[in-house]
Amino acid sequence: MVARYSRRTLLGAGLGGIATLLTGGYAWTRYRTRHTVRIRPLDIVTESDESVTVELTLTDEAGHREENRTVQLDPASGDDEARRFGPWMKYAGEWRIDAVFEEHRLELTAAELTDRLEGSGWGVDCAHITIVVTADGGLESHVDPSDAC
C-alpha cells in the first residue's frame, strides 16, 4: 500500500519542523549566555575613616578584554564613592571581578554574579555592583539588578 500525503500535510510538517528548530536554537542561545552580564554601574564605596586604595581587575572570562584600575578614595564622609566606567558597561560577557585592598581579596565570578541576581539565569543580565571597603578594613560586595542597561 502506498502512503499518500497531501501538500497541506507536508507543508504543515515542514513548518512544524522549522518552528521546532528555531525555538530550540533560541532556547540554546539563552541557556548558553546564562552567566553573561553587563555591569552598569560598578561602584566602589568606603566606610573607612582612612584613605583607601583598591586594586580592581575585571576580566572577560573568554579572554577578550581585561581592565586594571587603581581606585583611591578619601575617608568616608557619608557620600564618598567612585563610579568606574569601562567596557563591562557596553559589552556583555562572563566578567570576573577581583578587588584587592591591603591583605583582603574579593573575587566574584560571572556565575556568582548571576546567582546573586534575582530572576537571572536565562540570557544576558544587567547588574549594579557595589564593592565596599568596610569600616574594619574588609571587602564586601552588593549585587543588584540594574535598570540602566
CA distances from 126 to 19, 37, 103 (A): 29, 6, 30
15 in any annotated domain? no
7 in any annotated domain? no
Q: For the chain, how many structural domains are there in total?
A: 1
9 in any annotated domain? no
Query: Rounded to whole angstroms, how far apart are CA atoms 74 and 47?
Result: 10
Q: In 10 A of CB 8, how many CB atoms?
A: 8
Least confident among 38-42, 81-85, 99-103, 120-124:
120-124
Can you give the CATH number for the domain in which 138 is found?
A: 2.60.40
17 in any annotated domain? no
27 in any annotated domain? no
The tens digit of pLDDT for each residue in 2-52 reads: 678 888 888 898 999 898 888 887 777 767 666 788 888 888 888 888 888
Q: Is the pLDDT of residue 118 over 80?
A: no
pLDDT band at 99 (very low <50, low <70, confident <90, very high): very high
- Average confidence (pLDDT) over 53-64: 84
E-assigned strand segments in 3-117: 37-46, 52-60, 66-73, 81-84, 95-101, 104-108
CA dihedral of 28, 145, 99, 53, whole degrees rounded to 10: 150
- What is residue 62's predicted lDDT score, i.e. its pLDDT? 72
- What is residue 108's predicted lDDT score, i.e. its pLDDT? 92
Nearest Cα to Cα of residue 112 among 11, 2, 37, 31: 37
- Average confidence (pLDDT) over 46-64: 85
Q: Is the pLDDT of residue 115 over 60?
A: yes
Q: Which structural domain, as residue segments, surrounds residue 112?
A: 36-145
Q: Which residue matches cell numbers 571581578? A: 97
122 in any annotated domain? yes
E-assigned strand segments in the chain: 37-46, 52-60, 66-73, 81-84, 95-101, 104-108, 125-133, 139-145
